[in-house]
Amino acid sequence: MNNQELISQAKAVLSNSYSPYSNFKVAAAILTENGIVYTGVNVENASYGATICAERTAAVKAVSEGERKFIKIAIISSSGEFTYPCGICRQFLADFMDDASEVILSNDKGEEKVFKFGELIPGVFRGEDIK
pLDDT tens for residues 60-95? 999 999 999 999 999 999 999 999 999 999 999 999
66-85 burial: b if 16+ Cβ within 10 Å, else e: ebeebbbbbbbbbeeeebeb
Which residue segment(s) compose the domain that 68 sits in?
Answer: 3-130
Q: Which of 55, 65, 67, 112 is catalytic?
A: 55
| pLDDT interval class at 131 (50, 70, 90) | low
pLDDT tens for residues 31-46? 999 999 999 999 999 9
The beta strand positions in the chain, using DSSP E, are 26-32, 37-41, 70-77, 102-106, 112-116
**In CATH, what number is assigned to the domain containing residue 67?**
3.40.140.10
Q: Is the pLDDT of residue 119 over 70?
A: yes
Domain count, the chain: 1
Q: What pLDDT score does 107 carry?
A: 98
Tell me if the pTM is above 0.85.
yes
Q: Is 55 a catalytic residue?
A: yes
